[in-house]
Amino acid sequence: MDLLIPEVGTLIWMLIAAGIVFFILVKWGFPAITGMVDERNEYIDKSLQAAKEANERLAGIQTECDELLKETRAEKARILKEAADRRDEIIAEAENRAKESGEKLISDAREQIRLEKEEALRSLRRQVAELSVQVAERVVLKELSTDEDQLLLIDRMIDDVKTGK
């Protein structure tokens, strides 16, 4: 029966010895351990999360790369096509312009020729007239003594020439 009665002295010793140790452990012992275990668990969770995110990002980068490559290819094709178009355009324009300027040159030349021809005709005609006059002078000099007769003859001859033409 005495086994079942708590002894006051033991309780007091327990209070002193175990009390102090309990206080130390509760205050400085276990919090250090559990705190760090919690911290490490948190760190592990965070690391796992980060690894998962990194993996996801890596996969994202892969698809992004593919996308970029595809885009680039499309851009290249577009640029090439544009360049070809532009080239054709330029060539066409150059041809046009060459044609135009050639035509203009030809027409200019033709005009020049026409003008020169006219000029030549005119001068020719004058020389012919002068020559005719001189010839006529010589011919008529003897027949015509008066100026009036001369002039009349000249007019008649000119008219003949004009109509004769």
Contact residues: other proteins, CB under 8 A: 1-15, 17-18, 20-22, 24-37, 39-40, 42-43
- Contact between 117 and 138 under an 8 Å Cβ cutoff? The reply is no
CB of 16 to other proteins, least distance (A): 8
Nearer to other proteins, 34 or 96 (CB): 34
Provide the token pair at 81.
């096509």
CB nearer to other proteins: give 7 or 82.
7
Instruction: Pick the closer one to other proteins by CB: 35 or 102.
Output: 35
Closer residue to other proteins in complex, CB, 4/58: 4
**Tokens for 10?**
């033991």
Rounded to a whole number of angstroms, the minimum distance from the CB of residue 46 to other proteins is 10
Q: What is the CA radius of gyration of the chain?
A: 63
| Secondary structure of residue 19 in the 3-state scheme | helix
Smallest gap from residue 21 Cβ to other proteins (A): 4
- Given the complex with other proteins, which of 31 and 102 has the nearer CB atom? 31
- What's the rounded Cα separation, in Å, for the pair 132 and 119? 19
Q: How far is the CB of 53 from other proteins (least distance, A)?
A: 18
What whole-number distance in Å separates Cα of residue 92 and Cα of residue 98?
10
Closest contact distance (angstroms) between CB of 36 and other proteins is: 4
- Token pair of 67 as six digits: 């996308």
Question: E-assigned strands of the chain?
Answer: none
Could you tell me where the beta strands, DSSP code E, fall in 5-92?
A: none
Torsions phi, psi of 56, nearest 5? -60, -45
